[in-house]
Amino acid sequence: MAAASSSDSDACGAESNEANSKWLDAHYDPMANIHTFSACLALADLHGDGEYKLVVGDLGPGGQQPRLKVLKGPLVMTESPLPALPAAAATFLMEQHEPRTPALALASGPCVYVYKNLRPYFKFSLPQLPPNPLEQDLWNQAKEDRIDPLTLKEMLESIRETAEEPLSIQSLRFLQLELSEMEAFVNQHKSNSIKRQTVITTMTTLKKNLADEDAVSCLVLGTENKELLVLDPEAFTILAKMSLPSVPVFLEVSGQFDVEFRLAAACRNGNIYILRRDSKHPKYCIELSAQPVGLIRVHKVLVVGSTQDSLHGFTHKGKKLWTVQMPAAILTMNLLEQHSRGLQAVMAGLANGEVRIYRDKALLNVIHTPDAVTSLCFGRYGREDNTLIMTTRGGGLIIKILKRTAVFVEGGSEVGPPPAQAMKLNVPRKTRLYVDQTLREREAGTAMHRAFQTDLYLLRLRAARAYLQALESSLSPLSTTAREPLKLHAVNTSTTRPVLGLLVCFLYNEALYSLPRAFFKVPLLVPGLNYPLETFVESLSNKGISDIIKVLVLREGQSAPLLSAHVNMPGSEGLAAA
């Protein structure tokens, strides 16, 4: 692994080996037991003491034990269980008051849990979706027992066929039931009001009215019912609602809510929709023809990673700028922002254990990690400004600090011929034997050719002879045509008497063969002449087995055969060929 990675990095030019790496290895714990996504990582000064903490919405091993973890330095500071899996974590300033400590928002299921000072502060639940009035009406009727379950089922079916909105779970469950269970189900559930609840799929923050670093921000939520919601930071009321053609997966926002903002949402249908402040519906649409795996805005460029192992750059109006091919599948992406040098770049964690950093399409740096990185986050951690936090597929945690002297230079890696050009071609060497043979052929080429031609003719002659002999001696009755009958020859060996009244009978396995004439009379046999008797045999089996056909010669009126012979049938050639 180490050898492979070092040779790789040499090839790339953007090295990351110990000596001239741009990164200091601050911490590596392969057993940190953190399983999460980039969306669930956040860095913030949660206590207002200038010491930045890492907030992790941890899914737990196998997504079984969701926990909220807060890390300080390499250690977990607090850890608390969560009711459901966290979909996203974000830190934001709720109000202008001092001390300006950011709140932590954690989206999970249909709710956003807001913490202040790491204490639960508020829980926002998505409003219930309005039920279909027809459906509501039906259940009301059921409540008053004015409708029988069967009619209810039919009516609900018809609603499902035609309505745009999906039915409530209660109705869907009901439609799945057998006739016998319906009655009980209706009685049990008829008093419940029907509900439709959606869940949060993604969350980000949007500055309210100031562009400052520490301005009050709104939460922007993406929901499973294809909507985007903007929440008021103080009152947690819904300020704006926008609808999308598909379910949002990643969000990227710029601007301020009260002034002007642009919202890019990568959706499950593989498209990215771009909305603006005054648009209720998408203004531009980028069709990727693959699923997006990450969406990052770098200055004015939207960088999208797709499942086709490539990074694409788009303008805010959806025009494609560039494409870079990755050596492996992209697992996660995040923004690298180095304030001191005004650098913004995209980090992409790849399945081959690399983290690549790109500014536009120029590769700046490659970091090799012992395991594939599944979540990434860059920013101020502890008291260090430029810290890179990575978690790996196996639950490991890697923390690296960017050296203060490090400058990312583009180029170097991309220009010049590929390394393979310098490799020598693997051309086989000539051997002594080859040289000798070549010389011999030059000297005696004509003789060799003649000898070869003669031998070839002899070979052909021999083959033909052998074939003929085989045919004559019936060693292996290879048929040359598809329709070749089974041939028998009858010869009367008596010198004087002709024979009359003989019969030929075939005995065979009827599962394997069929003969059109399994029993026939032999004509008068004049002594010394050869009488060919022919019959077709059809092979019925497709398993390529062959059997024996018995030929019996009988005299009319006698039950004991005069002669019997076994014909060994060959395997079907039609099958052998197929």
Partner 1 sequence: MALTVVPSFSVSGVWKRTQFPVSTESQKPRQKKAPEFPILEKQNWLIHLHYIRKDYEACKAVIKEQLQETQGLCEYAIYVQALIFRLEGNIQESLELFQTCAVLSPQSADNLKQVARSLFLLGKHKAAIEVYNEAAKLNQKDWEISHNLGVCYIYLKQFNKAQDQLHNALNLNRHDLTYIMLGKIHLLEGDLDKAIEVYKKAVEFSPENTELLTTLGLLYLQLGIYQKAFEHLGNALTYDPTNYKAILAAGSMMQTHGDFDVALTKYRVVACAVLESPPLWNNIGMCFFGKKKYVAAISCLKRANYLAPFDWKILYNLGLVHLTMQQYASAFHFLSAAINFQPKMGELYMLLAVALTNLEDTENAKRAYAEAVHLDKCNPLVNLNYAVLLYNPGEKKNALAQYQEMEKKVSLLKDNSSLEFDSEMVEMAQKLGAALQVGEALVWTKPVKDPKSKHQTTSTSKPASFQQPLGSNQALGQAMSSAAAYRTLPSGAGGTSQFTKPPSLPLEPEPAVESSPTETSE
Nearer to partner 1, 304 or 367 (CB): 304
Closest Cα partner for 194 from 138, 264, 253? 138
Pairing label, strands 310-314, 301-306 = antiparallel
Q: Is 49 in the site for partner 1 (CB under 8 A)?
A: no
Region near partner 1 per CB under 8 A, out of 155-163, 254-262, 527-535, 548-556: 155-163
- Least distance from C-beta 33 to partner 1, angstroms? 16
Peptide bond into 233 cis (omega under 30): no
Site for partner 1 in 91-110 (CB under 8 A): 109-110
Site for partner 1 in 432-461 (CB under 8 A): 434-435, 438-439, 441-443, 445-446, 448-450, 452
Burial class, 264, CB count within 10 angstroms (exposed 0-12 / middle 13-18 / buried 19+): buried
* Cα(454)–Cα(431) distance, integer angstroms: 29
Letters for 324-353 (x = contact with partner 1 by CB under 8 A, - = none) are -x---x-xx------------------x--
Residue recorded with tokens 């395991």: 371
406 within 8 A of 380, measured Cβ to Cβ: no
Any idea of the CA torsion for 364, 370, 375, 381, to the nearest 10 degrees? -80
Nearer to partner 1, 5 or 170 (CB): 170
Nearer to partner 1, 439 or 478 (CB): 439
Letters for 354-393 (x = contact with partner 1 by CB under 8 A, - = none) are --------------------x-------------------
Closest Cα partner for 67 from 53, 55, 79? 79
- Least distance from C-beta 577 to partner 1, angstroms? 20
Among 48, 81, 570, 574, binds partner 1 (CB under 8 A): 81
Specify whether the backbone of 68 is left (phi greater than 0), alpha (psi in -120 to 50) or beta: beta
CB atoms within 10 A of CB 341: 12
HSE, CB side, 13 Å, CA atoms: give it for residue 82: 30
Nearer to partner 1, 201 or 386 (CB): 201
Q: Is 224 in the site for partner 1 (CB under 8 A)?
A: yes
Phi and psi at 560, nearest 5°, equal: -80, 135
- Least distance from C-beta 473 to partner 1, angstroms? 34
Site for partner 1 in 468-507 (CB under 8 A): none
* Cα(69)–Cα(78) distance, integer angstroms: 6
- Least distance from C-beta 456 to partner 1, angstroms? 11
Site for partner 1 in 261-300 (CB under 8 A): 268-269, 287, 289, 291-293
- Least distance from C-beta 141 to partner 1, angstroms? 18
* Pair of tokens at residue 36: 């999460």
Nearer to partner 1, 61 or 501 (CB): 61
Q: Is 10 in the site for partner 1 (CB under 8 A)?
A: no
* Pair of tokens at residue 163: 């309505």
* Cα(51)–Cα(69) distance, integer angstroms: 16
DSSP β-bridge partners for residue 502: 522, 555
**Length of the chain, in residues:** 578
Site for partner 1 in 110-139 (CB under 8 A): 110-111, 113, 118-123, 125
Letters for 182-211 (x = contact with partner 1 by CB under 8 A, - = none) are ------xx-xx----xxxxxx---------
Among 13, 60, 73, 166, binds partner 1 (CB under 8 A): 166
* Cα(502)–Cα(283) distance, integer angstroms: 98
Binding-site size for partner 1 (CB under 8 A) equals 89
